[in-house]
Structure 1
Amino acid sequence: MAYHLDSTTASTGGFFHVPHTYTPTLPYNERRHFDTPRVHVPPAEVDYHEGKPSIQITRARFNQVSTDYGSPAFINSLAACHELTMTHNMLSWKYEMRRAGQRILPFLSLGPSSVARDVPYLKAEGVTLMIAVRSLKAVETRPTFLNPTTFSAASGIPTLAFDFDSTYDFISGFRPIIRHINDHLEATCTTDHIKSSHDISGRVLVFCESGNDRSSLLVAAYLIVIYGVTAFSAIQIVQSQRFCISMSDDMKNILVDLQHIVQAERSSPTPETFEGAFSRATESRSPLGKKRNIEQLDSDDEMEDELCGVSDVISRKGIPPFVDAAD
């Protein structure tokens, strides 16, 4: 295509005025590429019996071998004695119920910080362990923020605090918390071999400021670890009992990551940590053979470069950014 000078071009100092002859092949996107990936949790499948909604979550059957979360024998018995079938509260839920605590499991409750200060509630529920889940930045700014040891209602009740803000904070710190929960429950068992949840006299209350975000994340993580459910199923279970939870996409992504981590731990034939399993898998991908001389190394490098170049050319199916408008 040829372009010629005209009067307009001459008057502008000889610069060409190029008409719009090309169009973009893809629409322009001004969205930021570093936004947190959106996580859509589908609603749970609800069954109705005599007008009452209920859900039944299928969980993975496995034998816990890692000691990171407590006694494997106790955890296996705990998971086997309780089926995840429960009444869904979506029809009976009222706005005022967000200020109360709800039992997610027979021995594990979730609620706002107000219930941790409510003496009648703590006595009625028989709470024997209180866990505060807090923002690390908030605690650094105000050390007494949601400190359960300062609650008069918590007198005589063991307390624990779990502070986190980032994914790294949660993943690196949740194991000791879950182990503490299981050790406490095991210590309160009325028999050496539990056959039902009634054999556990301990009651754990997990709370945060609202009872809807950080504390619900920890409870969902507990379900993933102990019962082998997926991240989505764990959220559905928690929401079926406390309908007002509101996890951010960051929190949902933490649970998805945790699901993969726990699955990797279970796939290991020996009781080792996830870091150990990851390191072992990495080492197995690059076995060291016998030593080679410098000529062999240079030859291998040249061959690899040639093969990479050929494969790139063959597999490249790029899309041109613009096409001719006349096409």
Structure 2
Amino acid sequence: MAFSSRHGVVPTAPFSSRPPSPPAIKIPTPILPNANEPIKILPSYENVDPASLSVEDLEIITQNRKEQLAHDSAINWTYSSRRLAQPVLDFLYLGPSNVARDRKWLRETGITMLLAVRDAKMASMRLLDVDTLAKELGIQAGYVDITGYHELVRAFPLAIRMINDHILNIYRSQALNRGVTQVLPASMMVDTVNFRRGKVLVFCETGNDRSASVVVAYLMSVLGMDLVRACQFIHFKRFCISLEDEIKQRLKTYEDILLAERTVHRHQLSNSLGGPSKPKRSIEDAMDIDNATGGAAGAAVLDLDRFAYRQTLAPFVDIKEDGVE
């Protein structure tokens, strides 16, 4: 006999002993005017957290906010394409670990940094270690080590900062006015003929999960894309990416963090520049929603909307002698 039956009650709905899981995050096919239409992204400082990047930094990283395009790679995709790296942005590549050891491709593409996103166990065994290769080619190597998907939210800001710092350092090392404190427009700061732009390859074993999640997080942070749009964009670039639902949940959490930080920092910046500041409501103002209602009753009224359209649900019902009540 079931536990509930032995106690004179039965459940009104099926029960599960596992913890509740969040709803699955669906990434729909992008709606475009025609099948050959690319996804277009125009970088804008309005979508960037002002505490993470300045206007000048964004212009340097995106080359004066150059438009980014993603054509549907599924049209010409082959199985062997998964062994290659694809340019997600014109300075950011995504691929598997074998590409990170292809000296010819790295030289021809002009990669200046290898960023490995690996399991922490691999770090202790020096797997996916590219220090020797990077030293040979005169480029930079970086690592983001995690013990599981639960650490991705912590890892995203670190990886994004490493990419941005590298791109900015490569640019500033070639700046013509390195000894001048005055900030000039980005187009006037380098010798455009001999300028070598920084390029980063983000990789993991397959190039389809951990490293892909870092690139999605980068699109959300630097280009201000939402989670769905960022996933659609990167899927157009690398058709074989496979983000488990747990990874998408971490990315959703990171998206919420980015939105909160962006809102708070823009509000702080507006206040520091003398912009209008809206005072916070006091608890008394929040409670004073009805002159006829006050005290504890007023607090209860504030909570009514949560229950307005809910149906009454009793998890268990009593068993009568002649059947279920």
TM over 0.5: yes
Q: Report the CA distance shift for 1:236/1:270 in structure 2 as closer, same or farther (over 3 A).
A: closer
Q: Which position in structure 2 is the counterpart of 1:156?
A: 138
Alignment of 1:215-230 (within 5 A): 215-230=211-226
User: 1:318 is matched with which residue: 312, 319, 322?
Assistant: 312
Separation of aligned partners in 1, 2:267 and 2:136? 36
Q: Which position in structure 1 is the counterpart of 2:29?
A: 43
**CA contact 2:49–2:258 (8 Å) conserved in 1:** no
1:144 aligns with 2:126: yes
Separation of aligned partners in 1, 2:247 and 2:110? 30
**CA contact 1:98–1:244 (8 Å) conserved in 2:** yes
Q: Please report the RMSD computed on the Cα atoms of aligned residues, expressed in angstroms.
A: 3.9
**CA contact 1:116–1:130 (8 Å) conserved in 2:** yes
Q: Which position in structure 2 is the counterpart of 1:193?
A: 185
**CA contact 2:116–2:144 (8 Å) conserved in 1:** yes
Percent identity of paired positions between Structure 1 and Structure 2: 29
Displacement of 1:168 in angstroms is 5.4
Displacement of 1:232 in angstroms is 1.0
Separation of aligned partners in 1, 2:45 and 2:104? 38
Q: Which position in structure 2 is the counterpart of 1:62?
A: 46
Q: Which position in structure 2 is the counterpart of 1:231?
A: 227
Separation of aligned partners in 2, 1:44 and 1:307? 44
User: 2:238 is matched with which residue: 236, 242, 263?
Assistant: 242
Separation of aligned partners in 2, 1:155 and 1:249? 37
Separation of aligned partners in 2, 1:153 and 1:45? 45
Separation of aligned partners in 1, 2:299 and 2:265? 37
TM-superposition CA deviations, 1:40-59 (whole Å, max 9, x none): 1111224437xx35223587
**CA contact 1:117–1:154 (8 Å) conserved in 2:** no
Q: Which position in structure 1 is the counterpart of 2:103?
A: 119
Q: Which position in structure 1 is the counterpart of 2:273?
A: none
Q: Report the CA distance shift for 1:258/1:225 in structure 2 as closer, same or farther (over 3 A).
A: same
**Counterpart amino acid of residue 68 in structure 2:** L
Separation of aligned partners in 1, 2:136 and 2:44? 36
Displacement of 1:220 in angstroms is 0.6
**CA contact 2:51–2:265 (8 Å) conserved in 1:** no
Separation of aligned partners in 1, 2:208 and 2:135? 21
Separation of aligned partners in 2, 1:262 and 1:32? 31
Q: Report the CA distance shift for 1:213/1:65 in structure 2 as closer, same or farther (over 3 A).
A: closer
Q: Report the CA distance shift for 1:101/1:306 in structure 2 as closer, same or farther (over 3 A).
A: closer
**CA contact 2:208–2:240 (8 Å) conserved in 1:** yes
Q: Report the CA distance shift for 1:286/1:122 in structure 2 as closer, same or farther (over 3 A).
A: farther
1:32 aligns with 2:14: no
1:202 aligns with 2:195: no
1:171 aligns with 2:153: yes
How many residues align? The count is 274
Separation of aligned partners in 2, 1:179 and 1:234? 18
Q: Gapped runs of 5+ residues in structure 1?
A: 1-17, 273-283, 288-302
**Counterpart amino acid of residue 39 in structure 1:** I
TM-superposition CA deviations, 1:259-310 (whole Å, max 9, x none): 11111111124598xxxxxxxxxxx7998xxxxxxxxxxxxxxx759976xx
Separation of aligned partners in 2, 1:184 and 1:56? 25
Q: Which position in structure 1 is the counterpart of 2:292?
A: none
Displacement of 1:114 in angstroms is 0.1
Which entry has the higher C-alpha Rg, 1 or 2? 1
Q: Which position in structure 1 is the counterpart of 2:275?
A: none
1:107 aligns with 2:94: no
